[in-house]
């Protein structure tokens, strides 16, 4: 319990940037003495520092606001989701992760009869228009920067649900793991991957070789990785050597390089 709380506290501080000791007491429902002991342990890890009345992250989150990331949705994102939709059959129970790539998937599933579990606000909004889609929304708090629902209760809820396919997004993907910038989404993503028959990663080619703060899964936990043909050929070769099942969609841009 103590180790779990310390990890969650560290993630909370890194995500928030800076917090007061009183805020940590309220957030985690513990005494000031407990917070002081936890903070003392976290200081030794070198990712936060003490400031007057609280603590501050030494690493800034690389999370780019959702509105910036989704301003000009690429053809690659749409093509990736169209390919992903081919994997879904009527009657399936699927999870759609938060993200500006995965949000396009619901459009290609509009005529299917299935159950969608999600924390993605854009998916919820579009899914409501289709009576044939049973929509299950995870509990939690809306995180405006990611247009998603987050919180420990979200992860706990997903831990009780089993899905046929979990369609996942990421900030970055490399040979060392699949990463995410938001501490608030970390446990949700882990739970989604852990409780599905088939995990499928949907990322554009430029995400490979990028590493962010939190590793929520290893590449070999995904049965399929759907990306676009702008993926660096050398990186593609390394992934195939590792036995990663790659499904590349055409954007027409690879030939122009």
Residue 255: pLDDT above 90?
no
User: What are the tens digits of pLDDT across the range 221-252?
Assistant: 999 999 998 898 888 898 889 899 999 998 76
Please check whether residues 86 and 192 belong to one and the same domain: yes
Residue 211: pLDDT above 90?
no
Reported confidence tier of residue 1, pLDDT bands at 50, 70, 90:
low
Please check whether residues 173 and 241 belong to one and the same domain: yes
Please check whether residues 187 and 208 belong to one and the same domain: yes
User: What are the tens digits of pLDDT across the range 34-66?
Assistant: 999 999 999 887 778 888 888 887 744 444 555
Please check whether residues 239 and 159 belong to one and the same domain: yes
Please check whether residues 45 and 117 belong to one and the same domain: no
Answer with the one of 22, 37, 57 that is the final residue of a domain.
Answer: 57
Reported confidence tier of residue 73, pLDDT bands at 50, 70, 90:
very low
> Strand, coil or helix: what is 147?
coil
Range of the domain at 12: 2-57
Cα distance between the two ends of the chain: 52
Helix (H) or strand (E) holding 172: strand 172-174
Please check whether residues 27 and 74 belong to one and the same domain: no
Number of domains in the chain: 2
CATH code (residue 13) = 1.10.10.10
Least confident of 134-138, 157-161, 204-208: 204-208
**Beta strand spans in the chain (E):** 18-20, 48-51, 54-57, 93-96, 114-118, 133-137, 141-143, 148-150, 163-168, 172-174, 177-180, 196-202, 214-217, 224-228, 246-249
Please check whether residues 79 and 139 belong to one and the same domain: yes
Residue 72: pLDDT above 60?
no
Please check whether residues 17 and 71 belong to one and the same domain: no
Helix (H) or strand (E) holding 235: helix 233-241
Mean pLDDT to the nearest integer, 156-165: 95
Please check whether residues 106 and 206 belong to one and the same domain: yes
Size (the chain), residues: 257
Question: How high is the pLDDT of residue 252?
Answer: 65
Answer with the one of 57, 87, 102 that is the final residue of a domain.
Answer: 57
CATH code (residue 161) = 3.40.50.1360
Helix (H) or strand (E) holding 133: strand 133-137
pTM: 0.73
Please check whether residues 33 and 75 belong to one and the same domain: no
Q: Please provide the average confidence, as pLDDT, over all residues in the chain.
A: 87
Please check whether residues 126 and 155 belong to one and the same domain: yes
Question: How high is the pLDDT of residue 36?
Answer: 93
Please check whether residues 7 and 114 belong to one and the same domain: no
């Amino acid at each position: 319990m103590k180790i779990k709380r310390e990890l969650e506290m560290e993630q909370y501080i890194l995500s928030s940037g800076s917090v007061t000791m009183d805020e940590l007491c309220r957030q985690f429902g513990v005494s000031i003495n407990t917070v002081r002991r936890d903070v003392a342990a976290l200081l030794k890890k070198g990712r936060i520092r003490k400031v007057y009345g609280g603590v501050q992250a030494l690493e800034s989150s690389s999370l780019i606001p959702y509105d910036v990331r989704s301003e000009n949705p690429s053809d690659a994102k749409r093509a990736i989701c169209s390919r992903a939709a081919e994997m879904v059959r009527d009657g399936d129970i699927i999870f759609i992760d938060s993200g500006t790539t995965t949000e396009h998937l619901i459009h290609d599933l509009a005529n299917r009869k299935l159950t969608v579990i999600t924390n993605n606000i854009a998916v919820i909004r579009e899914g409501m228009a289709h009576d044939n889609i049973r929509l299950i929304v995870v509990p939690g708090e809306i995180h405006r920067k990611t247009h998603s629902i987050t919180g420990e209760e979200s992860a706990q809820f997903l831990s009780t649900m089993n899905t046929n396919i979990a369609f996942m997004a990421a900030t970055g993907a490399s040979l060392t793991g699949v990463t995410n910038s938001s501490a608030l989404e970390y446990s949700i993503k882990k739970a989604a991957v852990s409780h599905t028959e088939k995990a499928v990663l949907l990322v554009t080619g430029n995400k490979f070789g990028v590493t962010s703060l939190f590793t929520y899964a290893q590449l070999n936990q995904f049965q399929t990785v759907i990306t676009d043909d702008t993926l660096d050929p050398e990186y593609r070769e390394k992934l195939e050597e590792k036995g990663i099942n790659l499904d590349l969609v055409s954007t027409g841009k690879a030939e122009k390089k």
